[in-house]
Amino acid sequence: MAETIERVTIGSRGSELALWQAGWVQKALQQRFSHLDIPIQIIKTKGDKVLDSPLSKIGDKGLFTREIELALLSGDIDIAVHSLKDLPTELPRGLTIGATCEREDVRDVFIPHPKNPIRTLLDQPKGSRIATGSLRRKCQLLHVRSDFQIIDIRGNLTTRLKKLEESDWAGMMLARAGVVRLGWEDRVGETLDSEKILPAVGQGALGIEIREEDKRVADIVAALHHTPTAQAALAERAMLRALEGGCQIPIGAYARIETGRYGERTLKMDGVVGSLDGKSVIRGKIQGMPENAEAMGTQLAETLLHSGADRILRDIRAVDTKQTVSDIES
């Protein structure tokens, strides 16, 4: 008797990296479930359409996910594959993260201009122009090299690399995970220490979003779930949620699970909140049992707030409010 073919549709953004990620999930599921037909449906998000403004100026709640989530809720797709760092900490009612896939390298990289012989970031000449679309990277970099000029850059990785080649910039900062996934590792000048330049919350991990009550799909995607990554991401996302942060605020976090000599597992986590100019940076650390990941993330957020992050966040939000009023009045 012929095996019944089931369809499970993946929703994805249309960038080269997003399609690589969706294709990876597609292939991984097909290897485990031969009876599945798994097409990929491309969906454009607001973040893909608005490319002439910095991320910090156009809002971040669902910037790269909202349209995909609407398709998921309507039943047009069954699975949404996201870079976990793009997924808001508060999901729409009826949706949940069905699986968190094993994390790629969390670190950032420096990609020098092809004609720049200096491969390392902090060895660039005084006043060098460094491109990044991330306030988190900008803050942490200016904290150690206030002389750098930061160039805001948007677009997918292919677009950014082309802009770099056509520019007079010294180089550009990107997430290593995306660069590796697209096979551009030879362009990397330096991989940056994750404790000096803390990554974004969830960086390097894929989140598979599904409908909360869809047990059929939940059972399928569970095959790709990686518990250590999920626990680390849970801690990071809890910290971000407690800080009420997003693209407009420089926040970094890195949680990881380390195994001791006798097999004991410890979740260690670093967090950072900084001012937009990099002059004020508040860092904190915590460690404990992986089973307490969410509570640890919240606790680290409280520690950062008590250490001065509350003032930084107040100042940034006050500036954002003034700019919004100015935009409305102009």
| Residue listed under structure tokens 């047009």 | 76
| Helix intervals (H) in the chain | 16-32, 46-49, 66-74, 135-144, 157-165, 176-181, 215-221, 227-243, 293-304, 310-329
Higher pLDDT, 46 or 40: 40
Same domain as 142, residue 73: no
pLDDT, residue 226, reads 98
pLDDT, residue 320, reads 59
Indicate whether 66 belongs to any domain. Answer: yes
Same domain as 220, residue 82: yes
For residue 239, which phi and psi values (nearest 5 degrees)?
-60, -45
Indicate whether 308 belongs to any domain. Answer: yes
Residue 101: strand, helix, or coil? coil
List the beta bridge partners of residue 6.
36
Indicate whether 175 belongs to any domain. Answer: yes
Indicate whether 196 belongs to any domain. Answer: no
pLDDT tens-digit series, residues 153-208: 988 888 999 999 999 999 999 999 999 999 999 999 999 999 889 999 999 999 99
What is the rounded average pLDDT of the residues 72-95? 95
Structural domain of 75: 1-101+204-225
Give the separation between CA 197 and CA 291, rounded to whole angstroms. 26
Indicate whether 198 belongs to any domain. Answer: no
Q: Are 6 and 35 in contact (CB under 8 A)?
A: yes
Q: Give, as one character, the DSSP assignment of residue 245.
A: -
Same domain as 171, residue 293: no
Catalytic site residues? 86
Indicate whether 79 belongs to any domain. Answer: yes
Indicate whether 260 belongs to any domain. Answer: yes
The mean pLDDT of the chain is 90
What is the rounded average pLDDT of the residues 263-280? 96
CATH number at residue 151: 3.40.190.10
Same domain as 215, residue 86: yes
Same domain as 220, residue 81: yes
Same domain as 178, residue 81: no
Same domain as 219, residue 78: yes
pLDDT, residue 326, reads 30
Model confidence at 265: pLDDT above 80? yes
C-alpha distances in angstroms, 73 versus 4, 78, 213?
25, 9, 11
Tell which of 165, 191, 217 closes a domain. 191
How many independent structural domains does the chain possess? 3
Same domain as 232, residue 209: no
pLDDT, residue 328, reads 26
CATH number at residue 239: 3.30.160.40
Indicate whether 197 belongs to any domain. Answer: no
Same domain as 216, residue 88: yes
Q: Where residue 64 falls among pLDDT bands split at 50, 70, 90?
A: confident
Same domain as 231, residue 213: no
pLDDT, residue 191, reads 98
Give the separation between CA 177 and CA 107, rounded to whole angstroms. 8
Amino acid (1-letter code) at residue 273: V
Same domain as 8, residue 73: yes
Q: What is the pTM of this model?
A: 0.89
Q: How far apart are the first and last CA of the chain?
A: 69
Same domain as 66, residue 1: yes
Q: Which of 63-77, 112-126, 209-223, 263-277 has the lowest average pLDDT? A: 63-77
